[in-house]
Amino acid sequence: MRFRSSRPSEIGDVDALIVPIFEKGESPAGLPRALRSAIERVHAEAGGVRLYNATTHVGGERGLPTRLVIVNAGDPKEWSVERVRNVASAGVKTLWRSTAKKAAVVVAPGAIGAERAAQATVEGVIYAMFRPEAHRSSPGDRRLPPLATVTLALDEKADVREAIRRGEAVGDAVNIARRLANEPANKMTPTLVSEEARALAKEHGIEIDVFDRERCRKLGMNSYLSVAQGSHEPPKFIVMRYRGRGGRGYDIAFVGKGITFDSGGISLKDPDGMFHMKADMTGAASVIAAIAAVARLGIKANVLTVAPCTENLPGGGATKPGDVFTSMSGRTVEVINTDAEGRLVLIDGVTYAQREGATRVVDVATLTGAIQIALGTHFTGLFGRPDSFVEEVRAAGTDAGDRLWAMPLTDEYREEIRSEIADITNSAGRDGGAIKGAAFIDAVVDEGTKWAHLDIASTYWSDKDRAHSPKGPQGPAVRTLIELARRAAAR
């Protein structure tokens, strides 16, 4: 699919035209008068006012394209990057099962400016081109429009070629994370995740190492390996290094939880909804996709990605509640609940990143169901220290389009995860569960490290269609990580 830009009056012959229309029925400026009149007439006849509701007019009468898609854009005063994305996605989703090869999307810059609006439009188009039905036998059940060209119709003399390039890289990265998380566990084992990472590393010039069980044991990663004891699938500890500015050290490190299937281990989960646990490796998928986009964009920052991958299954060799292990940091860990395994994996991943010299670390994990109880399904939980770094990550997420909500993390919670027989325990009761999970990871964060933890268990999956994506995996945090790398380069 190729993107280009043009003035609205010069889009040429297209199979579909997607147009945002605001709450008072105003179509964007720059379109021919006859087309604007037709748009406003179709919109008035439809009578829909719900945000992102799309009305499709098929006809092709004089002055109109074959397919005219009008998307309600709400109050123009609330026009934002995320709203631009959602309008574009909602419009493209109406083309599913169509034969449209050439489409145009009218870009309304508003207060956000032409470049940001153009990038967001490209991202939105790409997001709408993801479908979760990858393994249906009939291609007709998962058909997408054969879009070859998408034109951004922009009524400004702005060069948006760089914005289009960024939008393609970010949009593709989010869809990569979605695709990996959507795969069933038998088709996305730790080994297969490592193969996907190797392919992306080769494509984008990224250094990669994949540590096996023996190498991890020599490095002292006994907390991570404890989760892998019940599975016949070998664990894979994936390390990716991108040196955009050259020289020594890393400007930022990303650590992603990579549990390719989580049964809960001996502390077995309820069977209802357990199939979603194929996507418990969304953190790993996100960090792998993000570093690929950082390299594709040529961002001038050194970035380290760590993705500890394994399955968490019961078995004769599985970790038992009450077992104690020594983590890579030297901290001893009492495992009270084997279903609180993500934090066991992450502490060795965070420690490894610090041993490699990273002093700014962001981990991403589907860590706790408790975060969804606290925030619902629209915000990711954000923890960390110091407060200045937490705010930096929150601001980056806001600019990138991810909704992050800062949560408390104080000494009272750190005290609650103290074990009676070891240094820390991986389960300390249901109340404040998301905070205690973050406190467990915090226990291995060095004094001089700036650290943030993104608990994406509230945002990694949607059980219903949304404007920017179908139901299924959502690809959270990818945009935030790319933006953090960009800001690191700017420093």
Q: Nearest to residue 483, comparing CAs of 252, 205, 179, 152?
A: 252
CA 95 to chain CA mean position, Å: 24
Q: What's the number of CA atoms in the CB half-sphere (13 Å) around residue 249? A: 7
Q: Which parts of the chain register pLDDT below 70? A: 48-49, 60-64
Q: Which helix (H) or strand (E) is 2 found in, with range?
A: strand 2-6
d(CA 103, CA 101): 7
291 dihedral zone (left: phi>0; alpha: psi -120 to 50; beta)? alpha
pLDDT value at residue 26: 74
Report the side by side order of strands in the sheet with 332-334.
Answer: 324-326, 332-334, 424-425
Q: Taking the model in full, what pTM does it have? A: 0.97
With tokens 């058909």, the residue in question is 143
Spell out the domain ranges in the chain. 2-155, 170-490
343 is catalytic: yes
Instruction: Tell me the H-state helices in 94-160.
Output: 114-127
Report the amino acid identity of residue 346.
L
Angle at 423 between CA 210 and CA 356, to 5 degrees: 30
pLDDT value at residue 62: 66
Task: Write out the two tokens for 443.
Answer: 């226990």
Sign of the CA dihedral running 367, 370, 376, 380: negative
d(CA 260, CA 189): 6
Sequential DSSP letters for 107-159: E--GGG-HHHHHHHHHHHHHHTT--S-TT-S-GGGG------EEEEEESS---
Tell me the pLDDT tens digit for each residue of 326-370: 999 999 999 999 999 999 999 999 999 999 999 999 999 999 999
- Residue range 2-155 forms a domain whose CATH class is alpha beta
Catalytic residue, candidates 83, 166, 343, 450: 343
d(CA 111, CA 73): 14
Q: Nearest to residue 327, comparing CAs of 310, 352, 307?
A: 352
With tokens 């110091």, the residue in question is 386
269 is catalytic: yes
Instruction: Give the number of other Cβ atoms within 10 Å of residue 142's Cβ.
Output: 15
Q: Could you tell me the CATH superfamily of domain 170-490?
A: Zn peptidases (3.40.630.10)
pLDDT value at residue 57: 83
Q: 284 phi and psi, to 5 degrees?
A: -65, -45
Catalytic residue, candidates 165, 269, 320, 418: 269
Q: Nearest to residue 292, comparing CAs of 384, 387, 413, 202?
A: 202
